[in-house]
Structure 1
Amino acid sequence: MEVVIGTIAGILTSVSMIPQLIKVLKEKEVENLSWMMIAVLLTGVSLWVVYGIMREEWPIIISNAFSVMVNITLLIAYFLYKEK
């Protein structure tokens, strides 16, 4: 049961930034985003990946690795679309 709950929680938190990423990629607008917030979130989910590896917990590893990819993409988009 814990694995099911962990997997569902991981999926929900991992996909939470996808609507923001889609919006940014569509509109090429990042004025209302904080790069610092993205960087802090990226650091947090990266540490969750490390923790998952240490505990050999695949739901933690997979969901947070996906979140790392989404947030790296969002951070790259932020700096690409940021008005100079």
Structure 2
Amino acid sequence: MLPSIELIGAVAAFITTVGWIPQVAKIARERRAGDISLATTGFLAFGILLWALYGVLIGSWPVILANGFTFVLVAAIVAMKLRYG
């Protein structure tokens, strides 16, 4: 694959992964998750987990790492939603 295409993918993976950090921090700081949809976030977490599994099956470290880290962040949101409502 062309290096420029790989770079676009790497930047996209980085942005979509770190984009969850402010949400995790806000919920943790405020101890409030009432406005978060449990169903949406739960489905999203499951989909991200499947993407990570897909990365494992095709042996793609960028897919594994980006989705693995994103799953941890979104799963934290699900956990805080269950705890803080």
TM-score, normalised with respect to structure 2: 0.89
Tell me how far apart the structure 2 counterparts of residues 29 and 76 of structure 1 sit (CA, whole Å). 12
Please, which runs of 5 or more residues in structure 1 have no aligned partner?
A: none
Tell me how far apart the structure 1 counterparts of residues 64 and 76 of structure 2 sit (CA, whole Å). 18
The alignment yields a C-alpha RMSD, in angstroms, of: 1.0
Tell me how far apart the structure 2 counterparts of residues 18 and 12 of structure 1 sit (CA, whole Å). 10
**Which of 44, 62, 66 is equivalent to 1:59?**
62
TM-score, normalised with respect to structure 1: 0.90
Question: What's the offset of the Cα at 1:64?
Answer: 0.3
2:46 aligned partner: 43
Matches within 5 A, 1:1-84: 1=3, 2-82=5-85
Percent identical across equivalent pairs?
28
Paired residues of 1:6 and 1:60 also in contact (CA < 8 A): no
Tell me how far apart the structure 1 counterparts of residues 54 and 78 of structure 2 sit (CA, whole Å). 23
Aligned residues: 82
Tell me how far apart the structure 2 counterparts of residues 52 and 6 of structure 1 sit (CA, whole Å). 14
